Structure 1
Amino acid sequence: MISEHVIDADGARLAATVVRAADPGPAVLLRTPYGRHQHLAEAFGWAKRGFTCVVVDVRGRYGSTGEFLPYAHERADGRVALEWLRDNDFCDGRVIAVGASYAAYCAVATALEGQLAGVIAAVPALGLGETAREPGGAARLACRLGWWSEHGGTSVARTTPLDHDLEALPIRDSLDVPGWSTLWDAPPLSPLWTELSEVDTPLLAVGGLRDPFLRHTLRLADTWRGPTTLVVGLWGHNLDTTQALGGKRIGALYTAWARALHATPPTSTPTPNSWVGASSRFVGLMRDGCALSRIKPTKREFSADPLRPFPSRDVGVDLRCDADRTDRALAVTDELGGGVLAGLVRVEIDAVADAPDADWVFRLAVELPDGTWPQLGHAVERRRHTPGEPTTVTAEIGPVGFEVPPNARLRLEIAGHHWPRHARNPHTGVDAVDATELLSSRREVRSCAVELPWTTAEPVDVIKEVAR
């Protein structure tokens, strides 16, 4: 049965759609800025499996009144929605907050405001600063311009996003919507992180190897105090999981975890269960097989020109498409014996730049015996420099998940830009989002070392593991 409701919040009325299960029991709360009716199929799926599902438009979006200010009201409104849900007879008091992307933030914020039975946070976009910049400080560009041009300053998604130019300078002035300029002044970590280590609620954190916010998914799992299950697979922000999960959608993983949660409520805080997808399979993520290798760069010097920036590519893309680029350093391993790489690849270089501020981009690919070079992962680190003086730059690529066949080699490219996924560093010392002048930068990579996370773990069925 489906019904429509209004939840009174401070200064707003929140529109909610309830899809009831056959009998009262645990409920699922999903708050979204993307239109609650877009989630009806998901809601009916939960109800079919015994969980009444309540889908709420966040403040200022679609059927809810008020002003939509990203990340501003989700904590307080989550408390109101949770209290309203528990006052209804279709819920027995047990509530799981669920969401992906922005909705995952809504679920996490609700856990700080009231007792929940569980939280499912998939490919979470966990705050202004967290989505604006990489942990290493580099400014994201394409995904931020795309999201804000579609959703910023409007109560419904624009069918035609606002005009925006990826090359326009300064980036801070490229859109005229509320919150866009202040986005770039947000701290790297929002205040909620200081409280997450005190949350006892069980958590299912789902990240994708192709998701731009993967590192914060890992941070969430590491920070969370309650029993935590971390699942990382070969999918992107849109959770295209059918290949990696043997033809099953992400909902199969959610419901397996939720059913197991209510069948055997956790009484302790176990070590997080972690998986990384390798091809279409899953392997246990182990940390007992790391190997440190020093790789002699075969090309040491290059020029990073923001007027012809080094391109960004997705995980899995064959990097032979950039084989003719000379604006990067290159280090290639000897032929390998084969195995599974699963986890973070740590890189350390000794390098020189002639600019006071520089981005260091690391792209890792595997040169396969069939001649292809699929990208395994990347990292971007922004560093202040004393021009012309050597400095050490460290980075963590990934995590990666790949079955490396015998006789393959790893290929590490080191560049100065990663565009359009990230803003172009101007090499003037000015923040990339405020720059109006772009200068070229000379670089030299003097030495390079990588730590590879080899594992011998066997493939497992993740859904069955989560349901145990």
Structure 2
Amino acid sequence: MNTTRTVYVPTPDGTALATDVCLPDGTRPVPSVLIRTPYGRDAHRAELRGWAAHGFAALAQDVRGRHGSPGEWHPYRGHETVDGAATVAWARAQEWSNGEVVAVGASYAAYCALVTALAARDTARDTAGEAARDPGPGADDLDRDGVPDAVIAAVPALGLAETAREPGGPERLWARAGWWAAHGDRRDSDPDALARALADDPRLLEHLPVARLAERLAEGLGRELPSWPGLWAGRGRGRLVALAPTARLPLLAVGGTRDPFAEDTVALWRGWGGPSRLLLGPWGHRLTADPAAPPRARVNLGVLYVRWARAALAGRLEPTRHGVIALGDSGRWRSAPGSTVTPDATPLDRPETECRWPFGSPTGLRLLHGAEFSADPDRPVRSDDLAVPADGDRADRCLLLSPPLPRPLDLAGAAVARINVTADTPSADWAVRLTALDPSGHADPLAFGIVRRTGPPGEAADITVPLGTLGRRLPAGTRLRAEIAGHHFPAHARNPHTGEDPVTATRLAPSRRTVDSRGSALHLPVVARRRYVEPAPEICR
């Protein structure tokens, strides 16, 4: 039986990090798997035993300043690169190690794995003395002993800017408030902290300015959150994705089409310089499937990770880019758009067909109401309610509906909305929410995107709103409902429409909006011909 023991791994400045080690039976040297996490190493005990049962030495480490590890934790600005490199080098030097290390992690732990993997590719130093300037992910004095041989990065949260804001600008209020309430400025975690605070103060997230929300949140938490304002200070994003082409080691990027960071996962996979594989399933950020999903739609990620790690360490992966995407809960998978196409590939292997659904068309999206509407931040369209107004007397959104699908439709790839719009305010957010209505009228979220535009009031503009990467099978009879709104609260902070920064603004103003059907359309990645693959062989070839 595999047993777990706790050791303390030294780092260059003398800080010793709490690390659980689970070794397989036997005495021969084996490869190692390293998980560095701020969420508590104890939660990985079963995972460590699973890796050990398959012949890997498995390590789970509390990052500096969290749970069992001393020091101070500065999310995305601390010691992750240097501490990760020190732990990789330590693992390589142990008598039970054969010298091979796979860095594994999900969410923030995926960030830890990635910055360690990219350490030798960046010249910035990641030290405590430079933490305040948001140092790069690597240190120029690290040697190759501190860089892993392969990386598994699941639902990666790639940085402060990537997690705090959408690529198009709007602030992710609900998710960041929840994460900071649960993990920020403390050594341990309290996952239900925001839920309790909202139970006591249901209008908590309406507090203005957003930059001082932590002061009100502290009343419910009973503790301060001094790092909250700094969360919104950084706007530079894409640093790890920009470094990805320099990587030469294998990458398995795992994400979910319902995960808010799915596009970062796809971008990382597309840009990676070494052999890269993508597994994009019908999951959210927790990588869990719908409990009602049929058994055929479920994937044993643990077994798949082991199979991929063995192939990566053995050098059996093709030096190309391959990926698979699930068609919702159907149990069917397709090659991901962007996978390497070999010279002998058939047309069935090539990318999806983009299908255009024009606004104001009986065969596209018919306008129900709201060609003109009011986006009022005092009465924002809510992200947690899929119900829509029955009429347009006081329209707060533009509402469109398609006719029933005449036949089943498979969607796999990137979707966008291209809209011609006007706002009478200098700043306006444009949120597009796409919902699938089954023949009984049940609403199921399909896609979402939001962008911020600044410009002269009253000036018409053509705007592209990315809706993410879709992987769904829609049955015959499904209708597509599209909503175009000015807010998506509380998932996103309200745009005050005054031109002020939504993080510091205290004054709100309504905004009159117009959506011109001419030139506006929804573009969906329709799979023209059905050809399916099995996920494990595809990502391990």
Q: Give the TM-score normalised by the residue count of structure 2.
A: 0.81
- The letter for the 1-side match of 2:303 is A
- The residue matched to 1:427 in structure 2 has which SS? coil
Match of 2:523 in 1: 451
Q: In the alignment, is residue 21 of structure 1 matched against residue 71 of structure 2?
A: no
Q: Residue by residue, what CA displacement relative to the aligned partner does 1:205-254 show, whole Å, maximum 9, x if unpaired? A: 11112211111111111221111111111111111147476444432332
Deviations 1:175-233 (A, max 9, x none): 14243111101123154343221011111111112211111111111221111111111
Aligned to 1:375: 445
The answer to whether residue 155 in structure 2 is matched with residue 123 in structure 1 is yes
Cα-to-partner distance string for 1:406-455 (whole Å, 9 max, x where unaligned): 34332211001111111111111112111111111110001221211111
1:124 positional shift = 0.8
SS in structure 2 at match of 1:27 = strand
Task: Output the amino acid matched with 2:458.
Answer: G
**Greater RCO (CA < 8 Å, at least 6 residues apart):** 1
Is the counterpart of residue 170 in structure 1 residue 181 in structure 2? no
Counterpart position of 2:101: 95
* 1:275 corresponds to which of 318, 322, 325: 325
**Counterpart in the other structure of 1:134:** 166
Gaps of 5+ in 2: 120-145, 199-203, 215-223, 338-350, 361-366
User: Does the CA contact (< 8 Å) of 1:295 and 1:333 recur in 2?
Assistant: no
Following superposition, the deviation at residue 337 of structure 1 comes to 3.2
Indicate yes or no: 2:397 matched with 1:328: yes
The alpha carbon displacement at 1:368 in A equals 2.4
Matching residue of 1:360 = 430
- The residue that corresponds to 1:198 in the other structure is 246
Report 1:308-319 matches (<5 A). 308-313=379-384, 319=386
Q: What does 1:56-95 align with in structure 2 at a 5 Å threshold?
A: 56-72=61-77, 73-95=79-101
Distance in 1, Cα, partners of 2:57 & 2:46 = 13
- Give 1:433's aligned amino acid: V
Tell me, in whole angstroms, the C-alpha distance in 1 between the residues paired with 2:188 and 2:403: 53
Asked if the contact 1:234/1:278 (under 8 Å) is kept, the reply is yes
Percent sequence identity is 42
Tell me the residue number matched to 1:294: 358
Selected match of 1:157 from 171, 189, 213: 189
> Is the 8 Å Cα contact of residues 259 and 467 (structure 1) preserved in structure 2?
no
Q: Which residue of 1 aligns with 2:5?
A: 3
| Mapped partners of 1:100, 1:130: distance in 2 | 15
- Match of 1:458, SS state, is coil
| Aligned with 1:418 (options 479, 488, 494) | 488
**Counterparts of 1:191 and 1:205 in 2: how far apart (Å)?**
17
Contact kept, 8 Å, 1:5 with 1:15, in 2: the verdict is yes
Separation in structure 1 between the aligned mates of residue 478 and residue 113 of structure 2, nearest angstrom: 42
Q: 1:153 to 1:466 in 2, by over 3 A?
A: same
Query: Deviations along 1:367-403, whole A, 9 cap, x unmatched?
Result: 3222223220100111112111101110111212221
2:359 and 2:70 map into 1 onto residues whose CA distance is 58
Partner of 2:132: none
Q: Distance in 1 between matches of 2:425 and 2:378?
A: 16
Q: Structure 1 residue 433 and structure 2 residue 503: aligned? A: yes
What SS does the corresponding residue of 1:281 show, helix, strand or coil?
coil
* Residues in 2 aligned to 1:433 and 1:149: alpha-carbon distance in whole angstroms: 17
Amino acid aligned to 1:49: H
Secondary structure of the residue aligned to 1:156 is coil
Is 1:307 paired with 2:378? Answer: yes
Match of 1:219 in 2: 267
Report SS of the residue matched to 2:158.
coil
- Preserved contact between residue 27 and residue 94 of structure 1 (Cα < 8 Å): yes
Contact 1:101 1:124 in 2 (8 A): yes
2:306 corresponds to 1:258: no
Q: CA RMSD in A?
A: 2.0
Q: Alignment partner of 1:147: what SS?
A: helix
Aligned to 1:230: 278
Is the 8 Å Cα contact of residues 41 and 61 (structure 2) preserved in structure 1?
yes
